[in-house]
Structures are given as C-alpha cells and as structure tokens.
A = this chain, B = another copy of it.
Amino acid sequence: MRQSYTPSIPELQSFTACARLGTTTLAAGHLNLTQSAVSRSLATLEDRLGVALFNRVRKRLVLSPAGHAFLDKAEAILAQLDDASVGVMAFGGRTSILRIAALPSFVRSWLIPRLPGFTAIAPDISLDISARLDPVDFIRDPVDLAIMRKTHQPTGSTAEIILPENLVVVASPALLKGASNLSDTDLLNLPLLQQSTRPTLWLDWFRDGDADPRRALRGARLDHFDMVIDAAIAGLGVGIVPHVIARQSLDRGTLVLASGRKFETGDAYALILPDGQEPSAEVRLFRDWLRAAVRR
C-alpha cells in the first residue's frame, strides 16, 4: 500500500538515468527499456509528486531545481537498496552476488564461453553481469568490478591489464574466395564494416599507407564489435576487431584473417576495481580466476 506520492523503483531508475544521461532515449538504452517506457515513468513520477523534475526546453529535458535536489537522494536510495539486497543475500550464506560491468563484445566472445570454468570453482557465487559501453562510476553504479578498456578507467579506481587490444582484419572465407594476406589496396576494394563507437579504426589501420580516407569509411555501421563479427561471418564485409573478440570465430573457421598484419592500438582490456575498499572474497576469487584464464 504505497502512499499515493511514494515513487516506485522503476520510476526512480528512469528518473536517475534520464538525469545522468540527458535523454529518455539514452536512458532507455541503459535500462534496457523502450524510450516510451522511460518517458511514461518520468511523467507518472512527476504527476505523483506534483512537481516538474525536468523543464522541457525545445524537446530536451533539463533538470529543474526540484529535480536536481531529488537526484542525489534518489540515487542514494537506489544504491542503498542494492547494497542492502546484496548484503542480505550474502548473509543468507546460500548465494552471494558478484556484480560485473563489462564490454558487451568481451562478455559474449570471451567471458561467457569461459564462465563454466569460474562457476565450477565458485558454485555459490551468482554473477550479475551488465553489458556496458560507457565508463563505470563505482560510486553511482552498483558494480563490484568492471572489465573495460583501460582508457575508460574512472578516477578512484585501479586497473590491471589483462589483455592488450590487438586489432586484426577478418572476413568470411566466402567473401575472400580463398585469398588471404590481402594488401591494403585489396582491402579497399571490399566493403569495410564500421564500428560506430570506434569510428577511426580503419583510418588508423591505413595510416601508414596512401589509402584515400574516404574509401576506408565505406560499409555498414554497427555499434558493437560482436555485431561486426556477426556481419563479417555473414559476408557483409571485412571487419577490424580485437583479436580476442574474433578468436573464437577464427578457431571455428567461420572467419579468416584477411591480412597478415596486426595493429596494436596501445589500449588494453583491464580489470578495474574501486579504490578505498578491500576487495571481497568473491572479487578476489574472480580476479584470480581471470588472471589464470587469460594465460590460456
């Protein structure tokens, strides 16, 4: 029996996500909801409280003073709720939760296929994995650890490199028709799949050559590496992806290297932990397992 003015959890989540990300559309993506759901939750919350939490400025949402005052409180409440829940689950001694934020491509291509290995040594730990493209904020996000590119390391955290980011160029055998070790000129005659969150990768690849930069940007645009992998397997074009992401498909033969060259971006995948608190037993267990897994 909520008081008529008591917000619901989905409403608080929609509000805080909108406030932090700036649009209902981005918030929806973050929450794995539709934009419509977020917009409605926001409107319901405002009706409920009788206060405009955002000012509508040219179809944009601008936090109102009231919304600003409410934001920190709402986030604190959501954080405490998460901590209390995780805490009581740990107390029960039956299951504990390890909350991991990681890049979606890394999760699908690398982490998930190897998770049976972790589960086998830690059957009482329940993993809560959220796929994240944006950097983690350990104060705001209920996350115990993150696996991101090192350059996305937030302040107030410690990063341990686990895998360097080496890019390779891959395509399906059918697209290449048995060819391999293509020259840059050859590659430019093929559609080059674009990764929209990493728009300069092809330019970097062709940097030392005399390739026309505009030709390097032709091709379908996809926003995750794993989608690029899928498109490459389907023969839609040549993809430039981290070797670690492509490795499985290469081993299976659904993709082949289109070039003998590799490109080190200088970046790396890193295990990122928040400073200022002793890692829990679960975190340490996962970290040790991860260290061993990357050596194989």
A→B interface (CB under 8 Å):
1-3, 5-10, 13, 31-33, 49-53, 65-67, 69-70, 73-74, 76-77, 80-89, 91-92, 94-95, 97, 128
Query: Which of B13, B67, B86 makes the CB contact (< 8 A) with A5?
Result: B86
Residues of B within 8 A of A83 (CB): 73
**How far apart are the CA atoms of A10 and B82 in the complex, in Å?**
16
**Contact assessment for A73 and B84 in the assembled complex, using a CB-CB cutoff below 8 Å:** yes
Main secondary structure of the interface of A (DSSP, over half): helix
Output the nearest chain B residue to A17 by Cβ-Cβ distance: B1
**Contact assessment for A70 and B82 in the assembled complex, using a CB-CB cutoff below 8 Å:** no
Output the nearest chain B residue to A97 by Cβ-Cβ distance: B5
CB distance from A226 to the nearest CB of B (A): 21
CB distance from A106 to the nearest CB of B (A): 20
Query: Which of B50, B77, B81, B91 makes the CB contact (< 8 A) with A69?
Result: B91
Residues of B within 8 A of A92 (CB): 49-52, 66
Counting chain B CB atoms within 10 Å of each CB, the highest count among A1, A31, A33, A66 belongs to A1
**Contact assessment for A1 and B10 in the assembled complex, using a CB-CB cutoff below 8 Å:** yes
Residues of B within 8 A of A74 (CB): 84
Output the nearest chain B residue to A96 by Cβ-Cβ distance: B50
**Contact assessment for A9 and B10 in the assembled complex, using a CB-CB cutoff below 8 Å:** no
Residues of B within 8 A of A67 (CB): 88
Given contacts A33-B1, A80-B76, A80-B77, contact A51 B7 (CB under 8 A): no
Given contacts A49-B92, A84-B70, A89-B50, contact A6 B5 (CB under 8 A): no
**Contact assessment for B85 and A81 in the assembled complex, using a CB-CB cutoff below 8 Å:** no
Output the nearest chain B residue to A84 by Cβ-Cβ distance: B73
Output the nearest chain B residue to A91 by Cβ-Cβ distance: B66
Given contacts A2-B9, A52-B92, A66-B91, contact A80 B82 (CB under 8 A): no
5 additional A-B pairs beyond A1-B33, A6-B81, beta carbons within 8 Å, are: A1-B31, A7-B9, A49-B88, A50-B89, A69-B87
CB distance from A68 to the nearest CB of B (A): 9
**How far apart are the CA atoms of A225 and B87 in the complex, in Å?**
45
**Contact assessment for B77 and A91 in the assembled complex, using a CB-CB cutoff below 8 Å:** no
Given contacts A51-B92, A91-B69, A92-B50, contact A85 B7 (CB under 8 A): yes
Counting chain B CB atoms within 10 Å of each CB, the highest count among A6, A13, A69, A85 belongs to A85
**How far apart are the CA atoms of A53 and B33 in the complex, in Å?**
31
3 nearest A-B residue pairs (beta carbon): A51-B92, A73-B84, A70-B88
